[in-house]
Amino acid sequence: MRILLILVLGGIAIGLPNCAKVARSQERELPVRLMESRLQVSILPSKRRYKLNEQFKMLVMLMNSGKKEIYVFGTLEWGHLASFLFHIHDASGKEIRPRAFPDDQTLVSREDRNSFVKLLPNHFLGTDFYAPVNLLGLNRPGKYSIFVEYHSPVSSADTDLRPVWSKENNSIKSNVVFFEVVR
């Protein structure tokens, strides 16, 4: 019994530094998690039903729902090297590959503080997206869903503004919107 107690207490003592290490690593990640909960993406389509020959249109908003300001890169463009990506799925959940996809490139000079926008609490920065339905890969009538993913195209090393949402932060997913394509 005494040997068991020594082994248990020894295991706890050995495990304590590991617990402290985990706590320190989580502490370093805390600001990122707080910013994630403060920055949100919301999309709003212009309508819920589109014809095959129409333009799909939606408004995309990057919102600060926190209590403190946050800096974000002000140019909201589309593509892997820009700010936004969209994901479309059919009714079965299969991702639809668009026939064409915008892929803007984002360039910023470290000295250019004007490239960033200070988002005050309860404020948003937005843009729109529009494309022909058939270019989105929606070639037949059906029910679809779309969401947008935001990721900063710039590194925190690109500016001395703080707090800043940067490449080092995770991407943020928007709400999911359902729509229908008809003939």
pLDDT digits (tens, 9 = 90+) for 32-72: 444 555 899 999 999 999 999 999 999 999 999 999 999 99
pLDDT digits (tens, 9 = 90+) for 147-176: 999 999 999 988 999 999 999 999 999 999
Domain segments of the chain as ranges: 38-182
Q: Could you tell me which residue, 136 or 2, shows the higher pLDDT?
A: 136
Say whether pLDDT at 136 is over 70. Answer: yes
| 25 pLDDT tier (thresholds 50, 70, 90) | very low
Tell me how far apart the alpha carbons of residues 72 and 62 are, in angstroms, rounded to a whole number: 9
Q: Is 52 exposed, middle or buried (0-12, 13-18, 19+ CB in 10 A)?
A: middle
Strands 70-73 and 116-119, by their bridges, are antiparallel
Cβ neighbours, 10 Å, residue 81: 13
Provide the percentage of residues in the chain whose pLDDT is more than 90.
Answer: 66
Please, what is the average pLDDT of the chain? 83
Write down the pLDDT at residue 3. Answer: 52
Q: Give the residue from 78, 44, 85, 57 showing the smallest Cα distance to 175.
A: 44
Burial 149-172 (b: 16+ CB within 10 A, else e): ebbbbbebebbebebbbbeebeeb
Domain 38-182 classified CATH 2.60.40.2970?
yes
In this structure, what token pair is assigned to residue 180? 């229908």
pLDDT digits (tens, 9 = 90+) for 105-118: 777 766 778 899 99
Tell me how far apart the alpha carbons of residues 108 and 31 are, in angstroms, rounded to a whole number: 24
Say whether pLDDT at 2 is over 90. Answer: no
